Structure 1
Amino acid sequence: MLLLKIFLSFFKIGLISFGGGYAMIPLIQKEIIGVQGWLTVNEFLDIIAIAEMTPGPIAINSATYIGYKTAGVIGSVVATLGVVTPSFIAMVILAYIINKTKHLPQIKGALKGIVSGVIALIGYATFKMAIGVDILSIYNFLICLGAFLLFHFTKKHPVLLLIGFGIIGIFIF
């Protein structure tokens, strides 16, 4: 019964959450602390901090950790499945619809518009990050340009470039 409650709680969170992992945090908090009473506020804050530090989406990381804290390894699997299942179902349905209608001019136009919008969002995020690291300083600009050129022309793995430029940064800064 506990595993079903965990799955349904996280399924509901995944179903009604829009805007990504950070938008899910208040919903997770309300459900896990307020409705279910599985954690205290301090335990929840610790879980959010851990979920933030580990690789991967914060909503999935926190669901996995909360599931583990509540019902062990199987609880972590059940909570993770619960939070990702609504998105998985939505993506399967959308993929099916797009695949069946991709020949229609309206769908082609919509997809081109979405791609353009995504490129704009990525560009905006890049711009905001560039301002945050003072890209106009000569060293930051040269490192950024060097990383871009190396990645573009050598196709080296991004992790290798990050390590290399991190080492360069130690000596420059």
Structure 2
Amino acid sequence: MKQMDIFIAFFRSGMLGYGGGLSAIPLMHREVVETYKWMDDEEFSDILALANTLPGPINTKMSGYIGWRVGGFLGMLTALAATVLPTVILMIILLTVLHAYNDKPWVRGMSKAVVPIAGVMLGVLTWDFVKKSKNSMGWMSTLIVIGISIVVINILGLHPAIMIVGLLIAALFSKQEEKEKQVKAS
């Protein structure tokens, strides 16, 4: 039954995640965290952050890891198949239809409507992460990290992975300092 749940969860997010891997992440979050409760928001956020640092499509990296974590090797294969199959099937169907009707206004309108919908879905997920960061780090630290991220990624043009690795290193050092303070206090 677990393999079927894994397949359904990732098939739904893959089938409904029109617009690319990033648009499927909020759907994957809903399935993994809210529907099946395989992990909490913090674990999902960690997986998302690490998946962003690795090369390749984010959706398949996340589904592969989550599938492995929930159902072992077979779960990983099930999650990957459920993630990739909808894309392959829909690409064949949609490209055939779009090619046949590419001169129709409804096709052009459909293509234009996808971008804002994907943007709203990503915005909602981002706001959820900001609220959770506020709870764990406080507003000031969250706003500082957001500001530094905007400068590093957009103004300086550095890859987001550099920012993520920097934040991970800073978190490791801050936890080490906390442990040292606790040892001294004892």
With normalisation by structure 1, the TM-score equals 0.55
| Superposed displacement of residue 22, structure 1 | 2.1
The residue aligned with 1:52 is 52
Counterparts of residues 1-16 of structure 1 (less than 5 Å) = 1-16=1-16
The residue aligned with 1:167 is none
Counterpart-to-counterpart distance in 2, 1:76 and 1:97: 32
| Superposed displacement of residue 11, structure 1 | 0.5
Counterpart-to-counterpart distance in 2, 1:76 and 1:15: 18
Summarize deviations over 1:59-91 as a string: whole Å, max 9, x none.
111111110110111111111111121111112
Counterpart-to-counterpart distance in 1, 2:96 and 2:19: 23
| Superposed displacement of residue 96, structure 1 | 4.6
Counterparts of residues 42-81 of structure 1 (less than 5 Å) = 42-81=42-81
> Secondary structure of 1:56's partner?
coil
* Change over 3 Å in CA distance of 1:93–1:22 after alignment to 2: closer
The residue aligned with 1:162 is none
Query: Is 1:17 matched with 2:21?
Result: no
Summarize deviations over 1:98-126 as a string: whole Å, max 9, x none.
77x5xxxx65x68xxx9xx9xxxxxxxxx
Which one has the largest radius of gyration?
1
Counterpart-to-counterpart distance in 2, 1:60 and 1:76: 10
Q: Which one-letter code corresponds to 1:38 in the other structure?
A: W
What percent of counterpart residues are identical? Answer: 33
| Superposed displacement of residue 14, structure 1 | 0.8
Summarize deviations over 1:25-82 as a string: whole Å, max 9, x none.
2211111011001112222112112211111111111111110110111111111111
> Secondary structure of 1:37's partner?
coil
Counterpart-to-counterpart distance in 1, 2:11 and 2:47: 19
* Structure 2 segments unaligned to the other structure (5+ residues): 112-153, 158-186
| Superposed displacement of residue 132, structure 1 | 4.5
| Superposed displacement of residue 16, structure 1 | 1.0
Bigger relative contact order, structure 1 or 2 (CA pairs below 8 A, ≥6 apart): 2
Counterpart-to-counterpart distance in 1, 2:77 and 2:4: 12
With normalisation by structure 2, the TM-score equals 0.51
* Change over 3 Å in CA distance of 1:37–1:98 after alignment to 2: closer
Counterpart-to-counterpart distance in 1, 2:76 and 2:87: 18
| Superposed displacement of residue 5, structure 1 | 0.9
